[in-house]
């Protein structure tokens, strides 16, 4: 074990809730759920002294309102961590929580710290896409209007430029739901930490209940039903509500330690965080960021796609996810094997850590070793991480 290597020793996620009026978490605060997940993750480490945690790094795409005021420190305090534990909130849109994991790993590798919590939370039922006070820069609109382009239009651009047909997108979406439903029925989502949800009773009083299953999966989804949906973003387009990710509520957390601390505490590490890459590209086709970041990561490590056991590629839209799968020639049984964001949902700032948790659980179940997590990012970016299961 490398003394300055970055090792994942615990992980978990909440179930993912819809963000609409039927959402299981719509009356529950994001920091409460995040702290419940963090508490559950920390309990996985036997006899762990929380004073060893040197930072809590939390990703959130719209850190305002209930997700504001340095959400990371609020979550640390809400979780009952010692006052000595600091916190920082990171925003890289959809890759926010993958960035927190990478940042934590980098701090460990550099020798700055020995233990960090990394993760993310986003409740789109409470703080919707765009936040509550969006104010675009007038000068930038004149020179770079694509910087504020709607995500759905970028998905249409990807479909048009790379010839990803409506049928391909719908087929991808159906597969996502089928995989997710099968995984749920077979109880494969072992990374889930049940959380407390508050919902109104017949007297309109909020009462607690246990929320333990992803809410967005639609097993009845098929090609015929998706074909009836109208384009959501462009007249005559191919991107619909059915082949796009769901807006959602959720949280996920991981604990990373240096090899030195792992040995000192006599722990068995779960995985090693090997490498990370971030790329920039034309915002008009931001969805290509997932593909470009994977290509960059594999080239950096001198690896071929077939040498990776499992991929978790975020399904912001079927057009961009299908493009990555098609371009890399990836078999279906190696990509999003338990469904993706089209079926499960995409709580923006939490998704990177959710995908990482899903990947770790499945690598362990299959007794396989290498995995890649990747996301496209609004504004024209992409991120990818390489993880080695131990």
The closest alpha carbon to 66, from 55, 56, 50, 78, belongs to: 78
Question: Is 272 inside any structural domain?
Answer: yes
Helix (H) or strand (E) holding 206, with range, is strand 206-211
Q: What is residue 186's three-state secondary structure? A: coil
In this structure, the number of other CB atoms found within 10 A of the CB of residue 74 comes to 22
What's the distance, CA 255 to chain centroid?
A: 16
Question: What pLDDT, on a 0 to 100 scale, did the predictor assign at position 204?
Answer: 93
Asked if 275 and 297 count as a contact pair (C-beta separation under 8 A), the reply is yes
Catalytic residue status for 376: yes
DSSP-assigned states of every residue in 292-352: HHHHHHHHHHT--GGG-SEEEE--SBHHHHHHHHHHHT--GGGBSTT--HHHH-B-GGGHH
Structural Rg of the chain based on CA atoms: 20
Question: Is 338 inside any structural domain?
Answer: yes
Question: Is 223 inside any structural domain?
Answer: no
Phi, psi of 6 (to 5 degrees): -105, 120
Phi, psi of 167 (to 5 degrees): -65, -45
Question: What pLDDT, on a 0 to 100 scale, did the predictor assign at position 345?
Answer: 99
Question: Is 238 inside any structural domain?
Answer: no
Question: Is 312 inside any structural domain?
Answer: yes
Residue for token pair 């995500």: 151
What gap in Å lies between CA 326 and CA 151, rounded to an integer?
21
Question: Is 205 inside any structural domain?
Answer: no
CATH code for the domain in which residue 267 is found:
3.40.47.10
Catalytic residue status for 112: no
Phi, psi of 3 (to 5 degrees): -60, -40
Asked if 28 and 37 count as a contact pair (C-beta separation under 8 A), the reply is no
How much of the chain, in percent, has pLDDT values that exceed 70? 100
Whole-model pTM?
0.98
Q: What angle do CA 215, 312, 107 make, to 5 degrees?
A: 105
- Number of structural domains, the chain? 1
In this structure, the number of other CB atoms found within 10 A of the CB of residue 287 comes to 33
Q: Which residues of the chain have pLDDT under 50?
A: none
Of 60, 94, 107, 115, the catalytic one is 94
Give the Å distances, CA to CA, from 215 to 12, 17, 173: 17, 5, 16
Of 60, 107, 115, 346, the catalytic one is 346
What gap in Å lies between CA 214 and CA 339, rounded to an integer?
11
Question: What pLDDT, on a 0 to 100 scale, did the predictor assign at position 132?
Answer: 86
Question: What pLDDT, on a 0 to 100 scale, did the predictor assign at position 113?
Answer: 99
Question: Is 110 inside any structural domain?
Answer: yes
The pLDDT tens digits for 41-71 are: 999 999 999 999 999 999 999 999 999 999 9
Of 60, 115, 177, 376, the catalytic one is 376
Catalytic residue status for 144: no
Beta-bridge partner residues of 207:
199
Question: Is 192 inside any structural domain?
Answer: no
Phi, psi of 111 (to 5 degrees): 85, 10
Domain coverage including residue 94: 6-127+246-389
The pLDDT tens digits for 314-350 are: 999 999 999 999 999 999 999 999 999 999 999 999 9
Q: What is residue 107's three-state secondary structure? A: helix
């Amino acid at each position: 074990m490398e003394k300055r290597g970055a090792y994942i020793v615990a992980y978990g996620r909440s179930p993912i809730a819809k963000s609409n009026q039927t959402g299981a978490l719509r009356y529950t605060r994001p920091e409460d759920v995040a702290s419940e997940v963090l508490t559950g993750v920390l309990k996985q480490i036997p006899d762990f002294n929380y004073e060893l945690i040197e930072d809590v790094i939390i990703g959130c795409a719209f850190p305002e309102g209930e997700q504001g005021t340095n959400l990371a420190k609020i979550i640390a305090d809400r979780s009952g961590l010692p006052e000595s534990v600091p916190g920082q909130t990171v925003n890289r849109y959809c890759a926010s929580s993958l960035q927190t994991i990478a940042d934590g790993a980098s701090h460990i590798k550099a020798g700055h710290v020995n233990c960090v919590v990394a993760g993310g939370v986003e409740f789109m039922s409470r703080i919707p896409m765009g936040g509550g006070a969006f104010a675009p820069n007038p000068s930038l609109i004149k020179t770079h209007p694509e910087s504020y382009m709607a995500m759905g239009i970028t998905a249409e651009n990807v479909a048009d430029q790379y010839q990803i047909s409506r049928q391909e997108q719908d087929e991808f979406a159906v597969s996502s739901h089928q995989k997710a439903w099968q995984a749920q029925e077979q109880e494969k989502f072992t990374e889930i930490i049940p959380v407390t949800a508050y919902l109104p009773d017949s007297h309109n009083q909020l009462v607690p209940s246990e929320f333990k299953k992803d809410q967005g999966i639609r097993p009845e989804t098929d090609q015929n039903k998706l074909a009836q949906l109208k384009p959501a973003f462009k007249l005559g387009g191919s991107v619909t509500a059915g082949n796009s990710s769901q807006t959602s509520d959720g949280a996920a957390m991981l604990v990373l330690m240096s090899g030195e601390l792992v040995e000192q505490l006599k722990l068995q590490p779960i995985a090693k965080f090997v490498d990370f890459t971030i790329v920039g590209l034309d915002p008009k086709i931001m969805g290509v960021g997932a593909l470009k970041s994977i290509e960059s990561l594999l080239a950096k490590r001198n690896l071929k796609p077939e040498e990776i056991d499992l991929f978790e590629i975020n399904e912001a839209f079927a057009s961009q996810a299908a493009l990555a799968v098609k371009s890399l020639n990836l078999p279906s049984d190696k990509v999003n094997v338990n469904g993706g964001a089209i079926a499960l949902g995409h709580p923006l700032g939490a998704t990177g850590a959710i995908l990482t948790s899903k990947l770790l659980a499945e690598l362990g179940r299959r007794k396989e070793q290498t995995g890649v997590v990747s996301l496209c990012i609004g504004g024209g970016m992409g991120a990818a991480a390489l993880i080695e299961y131990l």
